[in-house]
């Protein structure tokens, strides 16, 4: 088997994430995971790292937050051989829904999920790409709990340690697992030149 040692670590994965200053508005340093998704090696590394964490845990379903959580969550659910539940922005789901509103680092939003997405007692893994203020993920936790299900853990690629999101999620008595932690407002690693 051929290996590519530069691909095998979390630091290499984090370095593949592109940083875009002042997007979607002034003062935001956006962390773009599309370079990870575009690379077969890095996308596999991302999914494999999460699969290894959760393969021996009793997870009934993976719930992914709109929209990058859909990509990661669906791939993870497939590998774990469990179902996938999308938690979408308001007005995007066609069946009966429940909703939860929350604040973002640059505005406010509402997410929804189908009322039949999970049943009481379902063990849910909640997935997104990053944790900043924690608003989206906390709203997802509340939706899942409204339907009587249990959030086993919340997972993301990055946690911004200079923002309160991680603490906010943990204060909801939800364990949070992230592959990489950094200050969201400071570029701690160089983006690869391409």
Convert the pLDDT of each residue in 27-56 to its tens digit.
888 899 999 999 999 999 999 999 999 999
Is 150 an active-site residue? no
Point out the catalytic residue in the list 68, 88, 153, 159: 68
Report the pLDDT averaged over residues 62-69: 97
> Active-site residue among 103, 105, 150, 172?
105
68 in catalytic set:
yes
Give the long-range contacts of residues 105-112, CB within 8 A, separation 24 or more: 105/28, 105/132, 105/133, 105/135, 105/163, 106/24, 106/25, 106/28, 109/135, 109/136, 111/65, 111/66, 111/87, 111/136, 111/139, 111/140, 111/143, 112/87, 112/88, 112/143
The pLDDT value recorded for residue 147 is 98
Check residue 149 and give its pLDDT. Answer: 98
The model's pLDDT over 106-142, given as tens digits with 9 standing for 90+, comes to 678 999 999 999 999 999 999 999 999 999 999 999 9
What pTM, to 2 d.p., does this model score?
0.91
């Amino acid at each position: 088997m051929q290996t590519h040692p530069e691909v095998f670590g979390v630091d290499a994965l984090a370095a593949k994430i592109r940083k875009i200053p002042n997007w979607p508005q002034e003062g935001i340093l956006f962390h773009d995971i599309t370079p990870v998704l575009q690379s077969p090696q890095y996308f596999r590394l991302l999914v494999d790292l999460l699969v290894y964490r959760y393969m021996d845990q009793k997870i009934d379903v993976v719930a992914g937050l709109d929209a990058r959580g859909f990509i990661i969550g669906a791939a993870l659910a497939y590998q774990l051989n469990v179902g996938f539940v999308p938690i979408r922005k308001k007005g995007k789901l066609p069946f009966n829904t429940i909703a939860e509103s929350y604040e973002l680092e640059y505005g406010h939003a509402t997410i929804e999920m189908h009322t039949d997405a999970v049943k009481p007692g379902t063990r849910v893994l909640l997935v997104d790409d990053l944790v900043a203020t924690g608003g989206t993920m906390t709203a997802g936790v509340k939706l899942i709990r409204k339907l009587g299900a249990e959030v086993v853990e919340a997972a993301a690629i990055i946690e911004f340690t200079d923002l309160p999101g991680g603490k906010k999620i943990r204060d909801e008595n939800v364990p949070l697992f992230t592959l990489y932690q950094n200050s969201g407002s400071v570029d701690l690693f160089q983006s690869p030149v391409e």
